[in-house]
Amino acid sequence: MRSGFRLARIFGIQVRIDWSWLLILLLVTWSLGSSFGQVHPNWGPATVWGVALFAALLFFTSVLLHELAHSLVARARGIPVQSITLFLFGGVSSIQHDPDSPGVEFVMAIVGPLTSLVIGIVLLLVATPHVRVITSATSATQGLAQLGPLATILLWLGTINVVLGIFNMVPAFPLDGGRVLRSILWGISGNLRSATRWASWLGQAIAWLMIVAGIAMVFGVHIPYFGTGLLNGLWLAFIGWFLNSASSQSYQQIVVHDILEGVSVERMMRTDPPTVPPDSSLSSLVHDHVMGTDEVGFPVVEGDQLVGIVTIDDVRAIPRDEWETTTVRDVMTPFEKLITVGPNDDGAVALDRLTQNDVRQLPVVNGRFLVGLLRRRDVMQWLQAHAERFRK
């Protein structure tokens, strides 16, 4: 995972905030504050910015509810959910693996946009009396100006949630709409891989349309519903670019997953990794092992038992003048906390463990006996060596 902090635990699911989210919170608050300031010249700056910040926070709460809907359905269908992260482009649920059946994927994907639509429609219904105020005024601007802070928030939040629901239903994989499309194609063809390929091609095509439309907006072209101008255009192009890379990446992941399925860890792992004894000091670890190699993690072995793993990061965390007196055992990750694989485990499972736990290597063990080490690059090298299978 990227950098950020934990916010809360909701229904046992960890909610995280990525640092990039602070940027989007700032942008949304700023953009809301400047338009509220224009529409309500009678509001003081404290009211304008207070209402803007509150509305922005409520908006991200509804994004969180959208993600919670995905996560809770996933968990109800037996798929573990690690966390929900709010970041620059909204929210993302870290769901352990894709659903095993098109029906589950369909429900899991569609429940998010449905949540946003329901929130939006309910808020707009509550705001209906205020909408009458606007429509009976001489102009929309004048009508909006008559609204108090609460009505302003209700109307904006309602509208933005409806927009969010509709945007997520755009059939651009890996957006929710693209997942819905994939589940339907998967259901019809029975072939997940070709369904993913079609959904991600469509996703990339839509992403490129967004990029082209965004650039056109920068040069003053007016796009219906999106408007025109530098900032709007750049933002649309930026979202398009993000969607394009997410789309091609998720397709590659499926392909890689597919290839690694049925390939045992044993065939990819390094069989004789350099090991270190737990009682050696950090300075001898650095001199005898770290220097002169590009290895970053070393299994710690005592007798014939694996007792832990020590990485360069563990060493770096200790001040240099304490390397002489600190032992490997003091800084290593002990066996009990290690994420390991067995030699006969599936390559796809191993890759999931590497990526989900964000570790660079997995000790391959038989009980507590170290059989080998599977590093990310071993997997990459194996894939490169067997690249012809990519083309099938």
Binding residues for Zn ion (CB under 5 A): 112, 176
Whole-number Å distance between alpha carbons of 157 and 56: 9
For residue 81, the minimal CB distance to Zn ion (Å) is 13
Q: Closest separation between CB of residue 100 and Zn ion, Å? A: 20
Identity of the residue, 176 or 314, whose beta carbon is nearer to Zn ion in the bound complex: 176
Q: Which residues contact 71 (CB under 8 A, 6 or more apart)?
A: 11, 13, 81, 84, 93, 95
* HSE-up (13 A, CA, CB side) for residue 92: 13
Burial of 335 (0-12, 13-18, 19+ CB in 10 A): middle
Please identify, using beta-carbon distances, which residue of 112 and 120 lies nearer to Zn ion: 112
**Residue number with CB closer to Zn ion (105 or 176):** 176
- The rounded distance, in Å, linking the Cα atoms of 169 and 167 is 5
**Beta carbon of residue 207, minimum distance to Zn ion (angstroms, whole number):** 17
Q: Rounded distance, CA 76 to CA 282, Å?
A: 47
Q: Identity (one letter) of the amino acid at 18?
A: D
The two three-digit tokens of residue 253, written as one number = 């992941």
For the bound state, the minimum distance from the C-beta of residue 296 to Zn ion, rounded and expressed in Å, comes to: 35
Measured from the CB atom, the residue of 176 and 378 that comes closer to Zn ion is: 176
CB of 204 to Zn ion, least distance (A): 19
CB neighbourhood size of 249 (10 A)? 12
**CB 373 to Zn ion: min, Å:** 37
Of 285, 284, 343, give the one whose Cα is nearest residue 309.
285
State how far the Cα of 386 lies from the Cα of 390, in Å rounded to an integer.
Answer: 8
Closest approach of Cβ 93 to Zn ion, in Å? 8
Our measurement of the distance from residue 36's CA atom to the centroid of its chain's CA atoms, rounded to an integer in Å, reads 32
What is d(CA 228, CA 325) in angstroms, rounded to the nearest whole number?
64
CA distance 213 to 194: 29
Q: How far is the CB of 95 from Zn ion (least distance, A)?
A: 11
Instruction: Kindly state the smallest distance separating residue 233's Cβ from Zn ion, in Å.
Output: 25
Q: Name the 3-class secondary structure at 355.
A: helix
Nearer to Zn ion, 67 or 314 (CB): 67
The residue among 160 and 265 lying less far from Zn ion, judged by its C-beta, is: 160
Q: How far is the CB of 244 from Zn ion (least distance, A)?
A: 18
User: Which of 112/233 has CB closer to Zn ion?
Assistant: 112
Contacts of 232 (CB under 8 A, 6+ apart): 214, 217, 226
Considering beta carbons, is residue 91 or 297 the nearer one to Zn ion?
A: 91
Nearer to Zn ion, 143 or 165 (CB): 165
How many beta carbons lie within 10 A of that of residue 38, not counting itself? Answer: 12
Chain center to CA of 96: 12
Residue 314 near residue 300, CB atoms below 8 Å: no
Instruction: Determine the 3-state secondary structure of 338 from DSSP.
Output: coil
* CB nearer Zn ion, residue 168 or residue 311: 168
Reported in sequence order, the residue ranges of 227-324 that DSSP labels E, i.e. its strands, are 297-302, 305-311
86 close to 57: Cβ distance less than 8 angstroms: no
CB-based closest residue to Zn ion: 112
